[in-house]
Amino acid sequence: MIIKHLFLQIMKDRYFRIIWIVFCILNGLLLFQRYNMQNTVEKEEQRIYDDYKGEITSQKIRQIIDGTTELDKKVKEGDESLKNLSCKTYSEYMKGNYNLYQSVYKNYKYAYEYKDFAAEMSEQYKDFKNRKLRYYYDYTDENVLLNYDMYTLFCVLLAIYIGCKSVEQDREAKMFINLTLSRRGIRNVYKNKCISLILCNCLIVALFEVENIGIACLMGNLDGFFQPIYALEEYKKCLFSGSILSAWLMGMTGVAIVCILMCYLSMTISLVVRNAVLSMIAGCLLYAFLVVLYFTVDSGTNPIGQLAVGNSILDNRYFLPDCGIYGLAACLMGCLAVKISGKIDISRE
């Protein structure tokens, strides 16, 4: 019951709800903009995609190769006539048809040759053994969803806010006078508070991700969401061999852990500094420092880089240990906050 009360106390904070709504609107607009920039698919592009998506067969491969070869020859000869073509056409222009076939050919070639690439890599990494791609889809929208990381900033800022605000609420309510708690009692309250903050952060991240996936389904086409992550060419060397969906879930888990860590850091700072505004500023500056450090220094121990930036860490050898390390760091920070709370009489401020 105490955890539920503390959880609802944070969720019912007026300023928190206002900031959350504003961030959700901004997040939606930014993601909409990204999909609008990516999805300029014309009817002819959709038609050729519908013909060749799905399982890669020898018949489809032959049609793509023959069509690309024939159109390439016509383009080089300067022949703009679509008559007497043996391949299916999708555009009114010769160059347009050639570009469409070339685009599908490139993706088919990557999928077809990936088996050989995996065989070569398997000599160094057993994770690549027996890898192959049997399906072709347009992964543009999956790429946008996986690489979209602006919502991470919104989640972390909310985490910093609720970490500081949870301490400030206790000061404003003078709860320790009303409850006449001992130091042990104060620590017990903060143990429950740490649990409630975990629930709050998980809920925040989950709702942002629901918004993201909802916009992705509305604006994009996630046909290949259940295909292996290495179906995306930029992840061809990725040691993680799960689906794009599982990679997305890994990214969500990483963001949640970073948010919990930053929330506990902010709560600890707030207990020491005793000023909510200064604590929030300090938390934001710390996060900004970690982000700048990630982009300027090749650091393998930066939690922002390991778990939250662009979902780029998809190596199954390191992701789970990283989650454990930074999850443990979050627990230690929570324990430190509980320890400090027992030594500071908040009610006298």
Q: Has residue 92 got a pLDDT over 90?
A: no
317-345 per-position pLDDT tens digit: 455 555 556 666 677 766 776 666 655 54
193-199-201 Cα angle (round to 5): 100
47-88 per-position pLDDT tens digit: 888 888 888 888 888 888 888 888 888 888 777 777 777 888
pLDDT value for 175:
56
Using DSSP bridges, classify how beta strands 54-55 and 135-136 pair: parallel, antiparallel or unpaired: antiparallel
- How many C-beta neighbours within 10 Å does residue 294 have? 17
pLDDT value for 213:
92
328 against 269, higher pLDDT:
269
CA distance 173 to 166: 11
Helix (H, G, I), strand (E, B) or coil at 306: helix
Exposed, middle or buried, 205 (CB in 10 Å: 0-12/13-18/19+)?
A: buried
Average pLDDT of the segment spanning 99-107:
86
Enter the pTM of the model: 0.80
Q: Has residue 293 got a pLDDT over 80?
A: no
110-149 per-position pLDDT tens digit: 888 888 888 888 777 777 777 888 888 888 888 888 888 8
Tokens of 171: 């000061």
| DSSP-assigned letters across all residues of 279-292 | HHHHHHHHHHHHHH
Nearest to 216 by CA among 31, 45, 53: 31
107 against 293, higher pLDDT:
107
250-265 per-position pLDDT tens digit: 888 888 888 888 888 8
Dihedral sign for Cα 154, 270, 327, 125, please. positive
Exposed, middle or buried, 151 (CB in 10 Å: 0-12/13-18/19+)?
A: buried
